[in-house]
Each structure stands twice: as structure tokens, then as C-alpha cells.
Structure 1
């Protein structure tokens, strides 16, 4: 979650001990826990409100589809599938070897 591992959490804990001191740290931990509970309650309340507003359509709502990474991934996969269909089609040969005294093609607009 958020790319924070055990080493980062250890450094944050040590910084908190040095900044706030060991006597204030338990009270700050209680306040952080209370804040986390309030945020969780708020998120659950918002989800329940959304569910009650949408009714049966809520089951069809896929919030993960609103993630920009998922949208980009879906479009890339579709483009690759379309390209795969075109890749299997036989292509016409664009160049052929010139005959011995044949002049190469010349395009006046290109030069």
C-alpha cells in the first residue's frame, strides 16, 4: 500500500519518537487510530449512501473500471488484439527486384 514497507515505517517511527518524544507518542497513536476509524466510518457511510441512491444499479457499477490505469490497460489490450488480426493478414509485397535495364521508380513529389 502506497509503496511503504517495513524499513520506511521503521524510519517514520524513529522520526516520530525524536520529534514528539516518547511521552507524547502514545497519545498521538490514540489520536491517529481515532482518525483512521472516523475515515473508515465516513467511507462506509458514503458507500452505503451510494448503494441506497443507485439501488439495484449499484451491483452493476464497477468502480475499478473508473481507474485510469485500468482504462489505459483495456485500450492497449484492444489495440493489440486489433493489431494481431492485421498481423495475420497476408501483406502485399511493396518492393521487387529491378530487372537488369529497368529504371528505378521516381516520384517527383517525394524529391
Structure 2
């Protein structure tokens, strides 16, 4: 569901007209306008205060670089592994061959190492 589009805003406005009625709608529209204006003033005030506290360094900050939407954990890990200075060439590791199934750490903790043992179930816990 990508963001608010014009059609969605129009639908919300039509619903608001029916729910609030034509006599109350101007009052609530004015309140919404005041709220948006006060939020805008608070944001600009916070930005001005941050600029005052950081000094001239504020203008040197690359805000695009700090955007959390650009961070992809897979890319970060891949770059960290590739940029490792002392990294040797990857070695092919042969998976271990076992005659019995591999036990998970949770199975070992719970004592369910026996093959085919079911996990404990508590009907009152859910």
C-alpha cells in the first residue's frame, strides 16, 4: 500500500463530509489547518535549534547518507565481507555427512535429542 494518493485523500474527504456533516466540517477543517501549521512551526523550530547547537557543521552534514531507507542489511553484510582487508579466498567447505539427523540447539536444550521426539505442548499457555 504505497502512501496517500489523491484518490485516497478525496475518499477520506467525502467520508468526512458524510460523517461530520456540512455544518461542522468548516470548524474541523480550520482545526486541521491549525494543527498542520503548528506541526510545521515545531519542525522548523527544531531544525533551527539543531542548527544553532551544531553550528556551521550542520550545513556540512550529508542528510541523504543518513536516510534509513537506503540501508539494506544484505548489502551491508556483503560489502563488509568483501571489503575485509585480510580476507583470504573463500574456501569450499564440504557439509558433514552424518548417519543420523542433525540436532538443533533448541532440541539439545530441551532434551529432545532422540529422533522423532515431539516438542512439549502446554494447552494452557496459549
Confirm or deny a common fold (TM above 0.5). Answer: yes
Q: Gapped runs of 5+ residues in structure 1?
A: 84-108
Q: State the structure with more CA Rg.
A: 1
Which TM-score applies when normalising by structure 2? 0.55
Q: Does 1:76 align with 2:63?
A: no
Matched with 1:12 is 12
**Structure 2 CA distance for aligned equivalents of residues 57 and 72 of structure 1:** 27
Q: Does 1:110 align with 2:97?
A: yes
Deviation at 1:30, TM superposition (A): 1.0
Question: Number of residues paired by the alignment?
Answer: 89
Matched with 1:56 is 56
Q: Secondary structure at the match of 2:61?
A: coil
Q: Gapped runs of 5+ residues in structure 2?
A: 84-95, 99-126
Deviation at 1:77, TM superposition (A): 7.6
Deviation at 1:68, TM superposition (A): 2.1
Indicate the RMSD between aligned Cα atoms, in angstroms: 3.3
Following TM superposition, the consecutive aligned residue runs of length 4 or more in structure 1 with deviations greater than 6 angstroms are: none
Greater helix fraction, Structure 1 or Structure 2: 1
Matched with 1:21 is 21
CA shift digits 1:47-102 (9 cap, x unpaired) = 000001000111222333333221328x728937x49xxxxxxxxxxxxxxxxxxx
